[in-house]
Amino acid sequence: MSLAKKIVLHIPSGYVPGVDGLIAKIIQDGVKFVAVVGPDCAQVEDMIDDAAVGDGSDSRFILTSSHPGETLDEVVKFARLLSGEHAGDVEIVEIG
C-alpha cells in the first residue's frame, strides 16, 4: 500500500533501524511532505533530505520539518494547515 502524499512520521522511541526502509518507501511513493516528531526527529529529517537528494542524478524535492518537543497532535494540526501542492489528508505513520 502506498503512503499518502503528506505524512507525519511519529517515532516515539527515537531512531530505530526500520526508519531506513521507511525512508526508502517515502522516496519511492513520491511523498511530498514529511513532518517528523519524537526523539531524534531532526536526525531523521536530515536522513530524509539526504535520501531525496541522493547522488544528485535523480534528486526529488520533499518538504520536511522536524518538531522536537512538540506533541503528535500539534504536528498533525501543523501538517493540516499546509496548502497548495501540500494540501490534502495527513497520514500518521508510527515506527518504533
pLDDT digits (tens, 9 = 90+) for 5-59: 999 999 999 999 889 999 999 999 999 999 999 999 999 999 999 999 987 777 7
Give the pTM: 0.93
Helix, strand, or coil (residue 17): coil
Whether 59 is in a domain gets the answer yes
Whether 23 is in a domain gets the answer yes
How many residues appear in the chain?
A: 96
Whether 1 is in a domain gets the answer no
| Predicted pLDDT at 44 | 96
Whether 72 is in a domain gets the answer yes
| Predicted pLDDT at 29 | 94
CB 35 within 8 A of CB 45: no
**Helix (H) or strand (E) run with residue 73 in it:** helix 72-81
Rounded Cα gap, residues 79 and 34, in angstroms: 9
| Predicted pLDDT at 1 | 84
Whether 19 is in a domain gets the answer yes
Q: What is the mean pLDDT of residues 67-95?
A: 95
Whether 85 is in a domain gets the answer yes
Number of compact structural domains in the chain = 1
pLDDT digits (tens, 9 = 90+) for 44-63: 999 999 999 987 777 789 99
CB 48 within 8 A of CB 64: yes
Domain region containing 21: 6-94
Rounded Cα gap, residues 52 and 47, in angstroms: 9
